[in-house]
A and B are shown apart, each in its own frame.
Chain A
Amino acid sequence: MFAFTRQERQVILFVAVIGLVSICVRFAFKTHAPRGRLALFSPDAFKVSVNEAGMSELVDIAGISSSLAKNILAYRRDHGPLRSIEELKEVKGVGEKRFEKLKEVLIVE
């Protein structure tokens, strides 16, 4: 059997105590974690407001490149806020196919 030195015994006991305490705390957090409240789902819950979104928010959306985001911002600057989601088709670079995808993630408020 190997021999522990006095220092090793102290360190190993310390590690064992810390390990046991952290496992128990982790388990307690898992079992008693506050559960979020159930909310009524609106299909628009996750959508981004096209009139309020900035460059970074628009680029984060799948299907919007930085050039398209610039076009949307330019359209907003020239024509004012969009009045309906269909108006998005007027933006340069948005065809029928892309519009179908974008209307799932964008909203006009």
Chain B
Amino acid sequence: MNSQDKGPLVACTLSFACGIYAAGLLQAPFLPACIASLACLAGSFIFRRKHVLFAFCILVQFFLLGISILACSRFCPAHHIQRFNRAFSSASPVILKGRVISTPVTKEKKQQFRIRVETFEDRGYLVPCSGTLFVVAKKYHAVFPGEEVLLRGRLRRPFASAAVPHKRFVVKQKSTAGIITDAVVLKSSSQKMALRALFYRRISALREALQRLLRRDTSAVCAGVLSAMVLGDRGGLPATISNMMIRTGTVHILVVSGFNVGLVCFICMLVLKILRVPRLLRTLGCCCLAVVYCFVTGSSGPVVRATLMAVVFLCGRLFKRDADIGSSCALAALIMLAADPEELFDVGFQLSFSSVFAIIWLYPCLKAFIPPGIYKPPFLKMVLELLLVSLAAWLGTAGLIAWHFGLLTPVAVAANLFVVPLASLLTLCGFSMLITEALLPQAAWIFAPASEFLVHLLLMANNFFLRIPGACIRLWQD
């Protein structure tokens, strides 16, 4: 397979993403984009034997598909909750019935999740409606995705900044219709969607059991860091630690991503290989475990990307095809954007893909600048390569971080050189601890002191890099 053959999927995905971005900027209408897309599709069929014309038509086609999918996703039907202005301006709380569509998270003692609203009460009438709402509940109530909930709360527009202190978070959560503040969950029921709710209940129970295992032999800070790195749960992580890591540009280690998914797949493959399980079953088992791990960690953007890439890679190996990391990454992006085009505007999605693409394409370019003679001592070669990977990832994400957070972190290049190996060791320790706690609890204490020591080193290294003058430049206040 030559390098030319690896481009098409990446180009189509980029074109699709550009279409979504353009639709977001221009508020493009659905019908013209759809008709133009149909015309381009006809063009692609006509010119399917002419390389250049076919490539041009198909790229334009994917661009227009991007526009169409976002316009369709943002289209507000007549009974959309957004259109009921009176409900939004009402001073008194409203009663709503809907279905939970996201995993609830607890922040600042408040529970936050999204619901797809079905009916609400308006001046003595039950009004059927549609749309997505972001809920901020006053108290914790055990709700799971797929469950039907009955809520009472104040309905507000997401951009009514004075009334809603969660503006940025709501935008990030893609809740375009509104927000319910001071919500009280009156009732939740899993009877109508038993299978999905049951699955999420089991996943939630598994996550809690794993968190308990991590907490058993470690301090609160160590358990918080391990929980964030291994299970993607940042609830137990002190805010000072995550703020410090944001300012040194190393906060990405607290996000579950490719390394973790790769580790899960590797451990699973190794165990199944030792047990002499046939190759097909081994691959299927590994894919299933990766998907379960994705759900346990909350199915955030980076972990979904990594899981899709892992599944593509494993399936490719099964069919004896070469694994091309750029194409599998592009396929993961295409699937995620087709499922939800609003993902493109999510910071996590942007940072995850930009860092991977930067490492894939920028790293070889940077490596070409280094004279070959410098690679003589093997240790220096390893350090230089790590530094170049770190630099490539930083160059790929610096612009986005500056744009979204107003931060420029030049120290990240050097900090990642120390922090990433430490974080990798810590993740390994975390997984080893989980496995031994589950299989042989008496031996689990071996990993606890090692984890404590590594967390201590990690924090010390971060603290050191933060003290360097010019480590973090704030471009503007958020």
Shortest distance between the CB of B431 and any CB in chain A (Å): 34
What is the CA–CA distance of A46 and B189 in the complex, to the nearest angstrom?
Answer: 12
CA distance A66 to B312 in the complex (A): 45
CB within 8 Å of A: which of B11-46? 11-12, 30, 34, 37-38, 41, 44-45
Question: Roughly how many angstroms separate A16 CA and B338 CA in the complex, as a whole number?
Answer: 11
User: Is B457's beta carbon under 8 Å from chain A?
Assistant: no
Q: For B184, what are the chain A residues with a Cβ–Cβ distance below 8 Å? A: 62
User: Do A8 and B338 touch across chains, with their CB atoms under 8 A apart?
Assistant: no
The residues in A between 39 and 84 inclusive whose CB is less than 8 angstroms from any CB of B are 39-41, 45-46, 48, 56-57, 60-62
B80's nearest neighbour on chain A, judged by CB, is A30
Q: A26-B72, A62-B186 are in contact. Are A16 and B124 (CB under 8 A)?
A: no
Nearest residue (CB) in A for B76 is: A30
List of A residues within 8 angstroms of B95 by Cβ: 46
List the B side residues contacting A36 at CB < 8 Å.
79, 118-119, 128
Q: Are B54 and A9 in contact (CB under 8 A)?
A: yes
Task: Tell me, in angstroms, the Cα distance from A17 to B65 when the chains sit together.
Answer: 10
A108–B62 Cα gap in the complex (Å)? 59
Q: Which residues of B contact A105 (CB under 8 A)?
A: 150, 186-187
Contacts of A97 in B (CB 8 A): none
Docked Cα-Cα span, A38 to B188, in Å, equals 23
- Given contacts A2-B8, A19-B338, A23-B68, is CB(A30)–CB(B187) below 8 Å? no
Residue of A12, A24, A30, A56 touching B12 (CB-CB under 8 A): A12
Assess the B62–A20 pair: CB atoms within 8 A: no
Task: A104 to B122: give the CA distance in the assembly, Å.
Answer: 18
> Contact at B48–A46, with CB atoms within 8 Å?
no
Is A38 within 8 A of B4, CB to CB?
no
A22 to B30, CA, bound (A): 14
Chain A residues lying within 8 Å of B186, measured Cβ to Cβ, are 46, 61-62, 104-105
CB contact between B126 and one of A8, A23, A41 (< 8 Å): that residue: A41
Asked if A40 and B5 sit within 8 Å, CB to CB, the answer is no
What 0/1 pattern do residues 114 to 142 of B give for CB contact below 8 A with A? Answer: 00001101101111101000000001010
Chain A hits for B187, CB < 8 A: 46, 48, 60-62, 105
**Across-interface contacts of A19 in B (CB, < 8 A):** 65, 69, 338
Is there contact, CB below 8 Å, between B69 and A23? yes
User: Quick check: A20 and B5 within 8 Å, CB to CB?
Assistant: no
A101→B340 CA distance, assembly (Å):
39
Q: Which residues of A contact B97 (CB under 8 A)?
A: 46
Smallest CB gap from B52: residue in A? A1
**Is B272's CB within 8 Å of the partner chain A?**
no
> Are A13 and B75 within 8 A (Cβ)?
no
Q: Are B54 and A2 in contact (CB under 8 A)?
A: no
Chain B: minimal CB distance from A32 (Å): 9
B77 lies within 8 A of A20 (CB): no
Name the B residues within 8 Å of A37 (CB-CB). 128
Can you give 26 A-B contacts (C-beta < 8 A)?
A: A2-B5, A3-B51, A3-B55, A4-B8, A12-B58, A13-B41, A13-B48, A13-B58, A16-B58, A19-B65, A27-B34, A31-B75, A33-B77, A36-B128, A38-B127, A38-B128, A41-B126, A57-B189, A60-B187, A60-B189, A60-B190, A61-B186, A62-B184, A62-B185, A105-B186, A105-B187
Nearest 9 interchain pairs by C-beta:
A36-B128, A2-B7, A39-B126, A27-B72, A41-B126, A62-B185, A41-B121, A35-B79, A41-B124
Known: A3-B55, A36-B118. 13 other contacts (CB 8 A): A2-B4, A3-B5, A12-B12, A23-B69, A27-B75, A35-B128, A38-B126, A40-B124, A41-B122, A41-B126, A46-B95, A62-B139, A105-B187
